[in-house]
Structure 1
Amino acid sequence: MSIDLNTGCPFRLDPTAGDIHAEADRLRDLGPATPVELPGGVVAWSVTDPALVKRLLADRRISKDAYRHWSDAYIEERIPPKWPLRIWMDVRSALTAYGPEHVRLRRLIGAAFTPGRVRALAPRIEEITGSLFDGLDATEATAPGAVVDLRSRFAWVLPLMVVNTLLGVPDALHDDFRTAIAGVFETGHSEAEAEANNRELYRLLTELLAIKRQAPGDDVTSALIEAHDDETDSRLSEQELMDSVLLLIGAGHETTVNLLDHAIVNLLTHPAQLALLRTGEASWQDAVEETLRHQAPIATIIMRFPIEDVHDAATGLTFREGDPIVINYAAAGRDPGVHGERGEHFDLTRETRREHLAFGYGPHFCLGAELARLEGRIGLRALFEHFPDLALAVPGAELRPLESFISNGHRQLPVRLRG
């Protein structure tokens, strides 16, 4: 079956993401893939079926390079220059590259996430976690009944400090990067807000590169600058250099923030599941994997493009050359065909807890996956051991989601650290 994305009435995604999972359920009911409208009137396929997701992500005929493969709309500049989501297409890094260019760019940044380098970060992750708890203990946050936003004080800060250790980002730039990176994921931004955020983001990247050029260190940013200066075929352009640093910050941060956020909420709202961890009947690895399945940290990722017509025999669908494709990981993580009819339930003993696609699949599998898992295991165990009386300060149903159909997390995570 072939569908013309330029006709009909596509399902309009909620740019403020009021209820990601209710929307995912409706999309799943419409079929394994269905046309949706993104902000700005851009129409794309939304793929919800896990098996189809895997087939498309592993297919060499599916590209992420909008410059080369997004039909005439992008190539002929009919997508508005100030389209709020345009940065996701415009960046020049392994995130958007295709074929040999993807191999070249991924190889250059892959050194940041080798198994040995990730394992070596464990003591630093423990040190950062301890220092964050010391900071909380030294303030009014731990007074009986006091309420603290654990997302801003822990879930956000731990991954940011870890990735900044990898990249050699000076402390003075941490908070500004934190704000600018968050803005990239906000799908409810106006054109003016998105443009202002992107300007600030590239100002910060330019400042970081200037600092590291003046005082290089034993960090990934300095290594990428060396690759920029290299005269071989692996040489990075200035745009690729900046966007590769941006990708590393995103790959090492956003997924982990939402993993920690949702794991904390799920465990506090499912005390029987938390008890399994405390008795040793379930592991912290189980908690990480079930959270990734139950609440995919990246709900929907944009975009991919067939380089030619791609017919999927199993579903009968044909994806035409240049048609945008977005992958709905939130829907795939609760697919009843894989996880049963109770896929919406959080269950650490679920046999399929590791059968999720939260980090993607195929050539673009997330480089930061193992680092996110390590931070999750270390950070969550330490949190619940250090604050055994930890409790939500509001009912879980009252937590407000991020205004993003890309990033799946909460705006705040109000808790009481002590009774």
Structure 2
Amino acid sequence: MTGPNWERRLYLTAHPFAYPLLRGLARCGPAVRVPGLGVVVNDAATAREVLLDGETFRKDGPGSPGELWTPVLGPSVLLNMEGAAHRALRRRLTDLFTPGYAEDLCARVLADPLHRLAADLARGAEVDLVAAMKVLAGAVICRVVGLAARGEDDYRRFFEQGERVVAMVSLRTRRLSPRQIARARAVLDPVGEIAARAYAAGDESTVMGRMRALGLSEEEARGAAGAFFLTGTETVATLVPRLVALLHDHGELDRVAADPGLLDRALDEASRVTTPTPVMLRSVHATTRVGGAAARPGDRVLIVTHNCCRAHGPFDLDRPPELRRLWFGAGPHFCIGYPLAMAEARLIARTLLAAAPLEIVRRRAARGVLLPAYREFTVRAAPRAGE
């Protein structure tokens, strides 16, 4: 099966009803009002206009991410803030994940597990990248929040705790039920305690220690740790197997393996096609128009980022850069963890590409997930020509 068909299969398996609806709405123009859903945005330029206007379109009103996550994370995280308070917190966090720091952190944390991954591939073993990514992404998030994990089992368990919380959300979810909030808090409150201890220790080699040095309060550090825990694991864990699949299915894997300078372009293009955040939500706070559709205070705006990005065509490694990484947001809410996510994905991808040529042994799509993903994606190193 070709790459684009496998991507469609992942989306249909994860969202068998919502995905066909959202793709069908892509044919209705830049924006369309849908009863029961809100104003649906399908166009990248319109989406950017909404994302850049934090006064009219906010993350802290009805139908927004704030309504979903504030009961779990508290009021002071970037996911659910706007205005002066958001700008002040964002300024203090600007230097948290600089590219250099993110690359150094990932290199230190992932050195041992990536060495084992490379050794497994080198001896011809079959490697399930889905299982491997749980360990690798879990290792990074453990270091970010300050958990002194004792090995791969701890990394995997920590990752799977976050996975269970995110799995409560679907593309249709407006708010969590009291029971879901209690279940999420049971996972996230201990994460906050871990972060608070790392914050109190003040070690600036840790992310929580850096937050303290940057002037954040303990409450803000706890909230940020919870947000990173929820958003910073599955994004990379789902992207890397899909990156390898897209490169393989489009005949580009060996090309990128032979030319490491193409890797960043491949990461951007795979991110566009897979769209780490397939839908972004905003709440309307003033009467306006969105791409020609009327919007009133209290309305919900669904930016179907997937439609915006896929309108620019199928996976193409030679496509000129465009969209300015819309899949990670825009303006004041552009993902602050982007440098860390890319540093992690880049380092893992380099290890995999070093073992090329790779062949896909088995793959299955995952059900019951928010981010479309493989349930299993097993690869092994194929013999090189002449061996």
TM-score band, normalised by the shorter chain? 0.7 to 0.9
Residues 16-95 of structure 1 mapped to structure 2, 5 A cutoff: 16-18=14-16, 22-35=20-33, 43-66=37-60, 69-70=61-62, 92-95=76-79
Query: Which residue of the partner structure matches residue 7 of structure 2?
Result: none
The answer (yes or no) to whether the contact 1:289–1:353 under 8 Å persists in 2 is no
Q: Pick from 241, 246, 256 the counterpart of residue 226 of structure 2.
A: 246
**Is 1:346–2:315 an aligned residue pair?**
yes
Aligned pair count?
Answer: 364
2:376 aligns to what?
412
- Give the TM-score taking structure 1 as reference length: 0.74
Scaled by the length of structure 2, the TM-score of the pair is 0.79
Task: Give the match for residue 194 of structure 1.
Answer: 180
Shift of 1:226: 6.8
**Structure 2: which 5+ residue stretches go unaligned?**
1-10
Matched, 1:269 2:249: yes
Residues 119 and 61 of structure 1: CA distance in aligned 2, closer, same or farther (over 3 Å): same
Q: 1:292 aligns with which of 252, 271, 285?
A: 271
Q: Which amino acid aligns with 2:307?
A: A
Q: Which of residues 360, 365, 386 is equivalent to 1:400?
A: 365
Looking at structure 1, the residues matched to 327 and 249 of structure 2 have their Cα atoms a distance apart, in angstroms, of 22
- What's the CA shift for 1:180? 2.5
2:135 to 157, 165, 186: 157
1:319 to 285, 295, 298: 295
Gaps of 5+ in 1: 1-12, 228-233
Query: Greater shift after overlay, 28-37 or 373-382?
Result: 28-37
Corresponding residue for 2:8? none
Deviation, 1:370, is 2.3
Q: Would you say 1:112 and 2:112 are equivalent positions?
A: no
Change (3 A) 1:206 1:305: same
Structure 1 residue corresponding to 2:85, chosen from 72, 88, 101: 101
Distance in structure 1 (CA, Å) of the matches to 2:191 and 2:353: 35
Q: Using the alignment, how far apart are the partners of 1:20 and 1:259 within structure 2?
A: 21
RMSD (CA atoms): 3.6
CA 1:45 to 1:184, structure 2 compared with 1: closer, same or farther past 3 Å? Answer: farther
Q: Distance in 2 between matches of 1:287 and 1:308?
A: 40
Separation in 2, partners of 1:159, 1:281 = 22
User: Does the CA contact (< 8 Å) of 2:98 and 2:339 recur in 1?
Assistant: no
Give the direction of change, closer, same or farther, for the CA distance of 1:108–1:355 in structure 2 (3 Å limit): closer
Shift of 1:376: 2.5
Q: What's the secondary structure of 1:121's corresponding residue?
A: helix
- How far does residue 381 in structure 1 lie from its aligned partner after superposition? 2.0
Structure 1 residue 24 displacement after superposition: 3.8
* Alpha-carbon distance in structure 1 between the residues aligned to 2:343 and 2:138: 14
Sort the Cα spacing of 1:213 and 1:221 in 2 relative to 1 into closer, same or farther, 3 A. closer
CA contact (8 A) 1:150 1:414 kept: yes
Residues 158 and 19 (structure 1 numbering): CA distance in 2 closer, same or farther, change over 3 Å? farther
Write the deviation string for residues 179-223 of structure 1: whole angstroms up to 9, x where unpaired.
222123222599587345303222322431354266442222234
> Would the alpha carbon gap of residues 262 and 22 (structure 1) be closer, same or farther in structure 2, given more than 3 Å must change?
farther
Deviation at 1:93, TM superposition (A): 0.5
Q: Residue type of the partner of 1:94?
A: L
What is the aligned counterpart of 2:335 among 363, 366, 369? 366
Specify whether residues 381 and 213 from structure 1 end up closer, same or farther in structure 2 by C-alpha distance, changes over 3 A only.
Answer: closer
- CA gap 1:100/1:50 in 2 versus in 1, 3 angstroms: same
- Alignment match, 1:6: none
CA displacement, residues 269-306 of structure 1 (integer Å, 9 cap, x when unaligned): 222x12322443971112101101111122123x3112
- Structure 1 residue identity aligned to 2:327: A
Deviation string for 1:8-42 (max 9, x for gaps)? xxxxx9994138764442120133234568xxxx7
Name which of structure 1's ranges 259-268 and 112-121 shifts more when overlaid on structure 2: 112-121
Alpha-carbon distance in structure 2 between the residues aligned to 1:279 and 1:389: 10
